[in-house]
Amino acid sequence: MARLYPFRALRYDPARVNMTDVVTQPYDKITPAMQDAYYAASPYNLIRVILGKHLPADSDAGPNVYTRAAATLNEWRAEGILKEETEPALYGYSQTYKVPGSEEIRERRGFIALGQLHDYADKVVYRHEQTFPKHKSDRLALFKATRAYCEQIYMLYSDPTFTAEQAIFESGAAPDLQITDEYDVLHCVWKVTDPALITRVLTAMSDKWLLIADGHHRYETSTTYMHERAAQLGLDPNAPPTTSDAGLPQPAFPEQAMMMTFVNMDAPGITILPTHRVAFGLIGFHGREFAARAAAYFTVTEIDPTPSGHYPGPNSLLQRLNDTPGVAFIAATRDGDFLLTPKPEAVAPLLAGLSPRQQQLDVTQLHKVVLEKLLNLNEETVRAGGNIRYLREASEALAQVGCGNADVAFLIKPVTLEQMRDISLNLEVMPQKSTDFYPKLLSGLAMYTLD
């Protein structure tokens, strides 16, 4: 089952930088505006490594965004901005945050370690979403150039006894690092170097399976890189671990593992948000014509404007959606907003071949019935990123429709943790961007270098 390892992390020296100014959100959540803000925050912000700016003179043969990332990382190491820890460690990691759209405060606890990479066929690591080929080729080029993993995979595991978590957090010591990010999330990190304590954690995790919450693209890319390097070195990708000078296990070769944050799915603190869809570039799209065609498969209820004549806002629409039992979603158009609830006998033929678990997912019915059947957007087009954008904020989705940048916004409910677990452990996958775990893991708290 799962093999975890302590490691000598490469970390920012807090005496040289303001940590708040150098960490970032994960690369795939960074908008162009956020990228600019990170560039301006500090000359040592990690953005220059994980998502640097493409320049007109970039080429495959010469300097480009990937070679600049590698050069930047090497310069920071040479200058002492980044320093490697002197002993292998695990890192306790907590995030305290307000659940979006409410006043509820939650704390999510986990720990950072290396996790051995496995093919999905090994049934140690499970996925729950489809991925995009373009994103994986980008990350592979970055990993090869930098020879470093600067971001963590968010991994879930199941442990009703809380053994690993208790071992990490039982001391009650103050954190070594505290950062409040741009979303007012408090991130705390504890370094754990006691070999006996590390062994307790590794032993507790040795019989666990792992489920990718966030980071499918990076995980699959890293696994590809592992196989490539194993072939070059003449090694078995599944070779057993070796022992470090400190007497602790370590990967058989550096590329065999990647940095991950492990979170117990039986513990409180996990939040999954919906990822809404907006469709754009639909030739001849009209909201009322769409609603009329949708009536063949759904009960379509137009949502009345407010007494002042305005369309309901995002909070009102989401409340209406969440108050609707069963599968449901809202189609927001410039011609009106419509609540869609499926007619089981009508949608059943379009869901044939899918498991009952898949058929009960809102996001699956949205993709199969609405996107593919009603809008004629086939799976290949959607996976390639054509005609569909994915947004966390309902307000942004509605704004894109209102200003003409999109034809229709589909607001959906979040997938539950239980649904995701059942889908994954039965070797099935949901459509891409089916889940949005909140908050995101900060990038730059620790890094794993392969050289």
Q: Write the DSSP string, 155-202.
A: EEE--TT-HHHHHHHTT-PPPSEEEE-TT--EEEEEEE--HHHHHHHH
For domain 275-413, give the fold.
Answer: 3.30.1760
What lies within 8 Å, CB to CB, of 89 at 6+ separation is: 6, 7, 8, 9, 191, 192, 193, 198
Percent of the chain with pLDDT over 90: 84
Averaged pLDDT score across all residues of the chain: 93
The torsion region of residue 180 among left (phi > 0), alpha (psi -120 to 50) and beta comes to: beta
Residue range(s) of every CATH 3.30.1760 domain in the chain? 275-413
| Residue ranges in 61-157 assigned as alpha helix (H) | 65-79, 133-146
Query: In angstroms, rounded to a whole number, what is the distance separating the alpha carbons of residues 416 and 105?
Result: 19
pLDDT value, residue 54: 86
Distance of CA 318 to the CA centre of its chain: 23
Q: What is the pLDDT of residues 210-247, one digit of tens each?
A: 999 999 999 999 999 999 999 999 999 999 999 988 78
Q: Name the band, by pLDDT with cuts 50, 70 and 90, for residue 61.
A: low
Q: How far is CA 70 from CA 52, 75, 121, 143, in A?
A: 11, 9, 33, 9
The values of phi and psi at residue 439, to 5°, are: -80, 170
78: burial class by Cβ within 10 Å (0-12, 13-18, 19+)? Answer: exposed
Q: What is the largest CA-CA distance in the chain?
A: 73
Res 64 pLDDT > 70? yes
Beta carbons of 182 and 168 less than 8 angstroms apart: no
**Choice among 47-51, 161-165, 303-307, 394-398 with the minimum mean pLDDT:** 303-307
Q: What is the pLDDT of residues 128-155, one digit of tens each?
A: 988 877 778 899 999 999 999 999 999 9
Q: What does the pLDDT average to over 284-309?
A: 90
Query: In angstroms, rounded to a whole number, what is the distance separating the alpha carbons of residues 216 and 132?
Result: 10
pLDDT value, residue 380: 74
Q: Name the band, by pLDDT with cuts 50, 70 and 90, for residue 312.
A: confident
Enter the DSSP assignment of 427.
T
Other CB atoms within 10 A of residue 118 CB: 22
CA angle 5, 447, 240 (to 5 degrees): 25
Type of residue found at 185? V
**Choice among 56-60, 71-75, 192-196, 205-209 with the minimum mean pLDDT:** 56-60
